[in-house]
Amino acid sequence: MEQEVHERSIDPATLAMLQKAKEEGVETAWERYEKQLPQCSFGQLGICCRNCNMGPCRIDPFGEEADKGICGATADIIVARNLLRSIAAGAAAHSDHARDSVLTFKKMSEGKAGSYKIKDTAKLLSLASEYGISSEGGSLEEVAAKLADILLLEFGKQDGHLLCTRRAPEPRLKLWAELGIEPRGIDREIVECMHRTHMGVDNNAVHILLQGLRTGLSDGWGGSMIATDIQDILFGTPQPRRSTVNLGVLSKDKVNVIVHGHEPILSEMIVEAAEDPELLELAKEKGAAGINVAGICCTGNETLMRHGTPIAGTFLQQELAVITGAVEAMVVDVQCVMPSLGELAGCYHTKFISTSSKADFPNTVRMEFHEDKAYETAKEIVRAAVENFPNRVPEKVTIPDEKQECMVGFSVEAILNALGGTPDPLIEAIKSGAIRGVGAVVGCNNVKVKHNYGHVNLVKELIKNNVLVVTTGCNAIACAEAGLLLPEASELAGDGLKAVCKALGIPPVLHMGSCVDISRILVLSSALANRLGVDISDLPAAGAAPEWMSEKAVSIGAYVVSSGVYTVLGTVPAVLGSQAVTSLLTEGLNDVVGASFAVEPDPIKAAGLMLEHIDGKREALGLITGKRKAMGLTSER
């Protein structure tokens, strides 16, 4: 049954472009989703297996037909193996991103990537000290080269633990060691996942899932953390700044270049090239008033938080940006890029430019990007966009009016700076009950969920109940589009949180960056736990991914829960075909790592689960000393 356009999103700009797409007869993710219905129920439950060529095998969830695969694998084994492979893929995506960042950093230190330089010297020296590198008597580039070499060893390490894990509280490190899930080399964990899930290797569901936790940890406390650190050194550690979001940031009279994907190595150069006097003059010659760079997804988050570059939208708005008819070039690198963009761009004048040696797409213009000539390539890409401007078809151009101001760039350093250099004021606000707890809300969009509905409503419910929210990825963009990333949004918060936000001049929802920057949330959590002398699992904190869809989100979930943070998922993972695996993930992990998952599609109910968990942790810490009303809480729970 075809879904009405108004049922697909809560965002007016998105609805306007969906209506335009319908009128112009172009297809989007929503139509492709409807064509898939009903989706394969065996796949949704996670009980189908293609791990060898005797299959595919599927398990009957009702036990009336096959209860084992051809090799004898049960539903428990198949579900666990499928989940482990998803974690491996997600960890690989984040960690390969990190490797490329470190390789660029190394080339920069050797003088082989002249377009890049060290922008945060303090962070370089701090990180070098953490890794035991002396900065005395050497240049910054020499220090950077030594640091790059050490970080590259983290990927292929065969013995010992990942060095970034030392940032975790001591009780958490001890627990990981006791469980045998302390992450080793990043690549080793990913390879071991693939080995274990090969036919005839690991066939114990619990044993399989423990490797999943270890692999997730190698992402969150390894690859993602390394990517965040190195990108801060190369491009600057984010500080609070203002910008604008949503499709209305596209310009009617300027050349519009969209950067989309996840790696800021290219987008940083695109932003710089767009200010090149030669290209600005060329734009005027072509009839444009200038060059406008806007982002989509996490590449957008990266440039947004460092430069204030406007962001055009979330994952599900990438096609809609092209449908405006106003985009001269959609420039992509890796991850979350829909292959549909090539065919769609052909319906308009947009050039779909792919730049990564790892990723090609149908109907693209290939302009491969290499660090040794980064700025030159970026100029070529922007030039191609500028020269495409005269091909814009005016009658096909419809740019929604919606654009929203936002405040972004809350790195750990920025948060601590706002608090006077230590987490103590935040801890005191939590102790007093002014802030009930912290909610980390992250993740993708998913066409199965009304666009932005899960993100926005869950976050609104949390801040209404005095929970300070930290956010990354597409959730951060959704919150920005809804006006929640502004200090003025504190009017939607409970009295306690509102007072804190007004005193500090901050929003009740803090934008901490892209999806790899969930590692910032881990660092902040460790700082709070260490200051309180407890483990992360003892904090009045909870996580959520209301509209998740990617394998990266599966890896994120694995490392967040393994770090001790209770996490609520808004879309159902493919594990329900195994009662044992489902029970372990939603209950049993509490006894293993001190946290577990819950699944709740209703964002209000999901927020209720998080509030209940936060209150339980407050009580365990002795922080609930009076009636809820004394804490300024609005919930009746």
- State how far the Cα of 386 lies from the Cα of 290, in Å rounded to an integer: 9
193 annotated binding-site participant: no
Given the DSSP bridges, would you call strands 311-313 and 365-366 parallel, antiparallel or unpaired?
A: unpaired
Q: Which residues pair with 599 in a beta bridge?
A: 569
Judged by DSSP in three states, 101 sits in helix
All residues at 6 or more sequence positions from 121 whose CB lies less than 8 Å from its CB, including other chains? 140
Q: Which residues contact 180 (CB under 8 A, 6 or more apart)?
A: 210, 214
CB 187 within 8 A of CB 219: no
Contact 469, 441 (CB under 8 A): yes
Judge whether 479 is annotated as a binding position.
no
- From CA 209, how far away is CA 223, in angstroms rounded? 20
CB 125, CB 185: distance < 8 Å: no
Measured distance CA(80)–CA(84) in Å, rounded = 6
347 labelled binding-site residue: no
Neighbours of 610 (CB within 10 A): 28
57 labelled binding-site residue = yes
Does residue 125 contact residue 136 with C-beta atoms inside 8 Å? no
DSSP reduced 3-state for 169: coil
40 is in an annotated binding site: yes
Phi-psi label, residue 207: left if phi above 0, alpha if psi -120 to 50, beta otherwise: alpha
Using the Cα atoms of residue 457, residue 553, residue 557 and residue 99 in order, give the sign of their dihedral.
negative
Tell whether 515 is in a known binding site. yes
Q: How many helices and strands (H and E) does the chain possess? A: 26, 16
Query: Do the annotations mark residue 71 as ligand-binding?
Result: yes
Can you tell me the distance from the alpha carbon of 500 to that of 497, in angstroms, rounded to the nearest whole number? Answer: 5
49 is in an annotated binding site: yes
Residue 297 known to bind ligand: no
Phi then psi for residue 576, to 5 deg, are: -70, -10
Compute the distance between CA of residue 375 and CA of residue 381 in angstroms, rounded to an integer. Answer: 10
Cα 342 off chain centre by: 24
Residue 190 in contact with residue 88, Cβ under 8 Å?
A: yes
Annotated binding residues: 40, 48-49, 52, 57, 71, 262, 298, 336, 444, 474, 515
Return binding residues for [4Fe-4S] cluster.
40, 48-49, 52, 57, 71
Binding-site members for [Ni-4Fe-4S] cluster are: 262, 298, 336, 444, 474, 515
